[in-house]
């Protein structure tokens, strides 16, 4: 049985925010889906680049140099390793994200926070 992943069907299987689900794994990297709303927490990943692809809504990444990246549906941005960032949405709006990062990556990076996920669930 060969495993085809239908992304829409995967999104339909969860609704909680800031809790990425793993939907694929290759070359030590994981493909994750997340629904997010509001603000996560400032953090970085010392040795891991992280890709954020927006699949619904509008999503923001703020950086310590004062710049902000606004990502709309169909747009992605790669946060290089070591760069501190704050992920958020405005006005509590929901955004759906496809994430790509090493299997070792914790979503709040160097920071332990109430929203820090202990272990990413496989869907």
Exposure of 9 in the CB half-sphere (CA atoms within 13 A): 5
Six-digit token string for 90: 């405005």
Least distance between its own copies and beta carbon 68 (Å): 9
Q: By C-beta, is 115 or 123 nearer to its own copies?
A: 123
Stretch of 12-20, 33-41, 73-81, 88-96 contacting its own copies, by CB under 8 A: 73-81
Q: Is 38 in the site for its own copies (CB under 8 A)?
A: no
Please give the DSSP secondary-structure letter assigned to residue 118.
S
Please give the DSSP secondary-structure letter assigned to residue 120.
P
Helix or strand or coil: residue 61? strand
Least distance between its own copies and beta carbon 112 (Å): 23
Total binding residues toward its own copies, as defined by CB under 8 A: 32
The CB density around residue 30, as the number of other CB atoms within 10 Å, is 20
The residue from 101, 107, 108, 109 that contacts its own copies (CB under 8 A) is 101
């Amino acid at each position: 049985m060969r495993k085809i992943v239908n992304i829409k069907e995967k999104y339909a299987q969860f609704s909680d925010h800031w809790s990425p689900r793993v939907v694929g794994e290759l070359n030590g990297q994981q493909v994750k889906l997340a629904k997010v709303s509001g603000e996560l927490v400032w953090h970085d990943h010392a040795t891991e680049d992280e890709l954020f692809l927006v699949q619904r809504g509008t999503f923001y990444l703020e950086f310590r140099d004062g710049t902000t990246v606004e990502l709309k549906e169909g747009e992605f941005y790669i946060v290089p390793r070591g760069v501190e960032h704050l992920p958020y949405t405005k006005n509590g709006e929901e955004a759906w994200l496809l994430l790509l990062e090493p299997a070792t990556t914790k979503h709040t990076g160097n920071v332990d926070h109430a929203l820090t996920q202990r272990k990413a669930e496989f869907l």
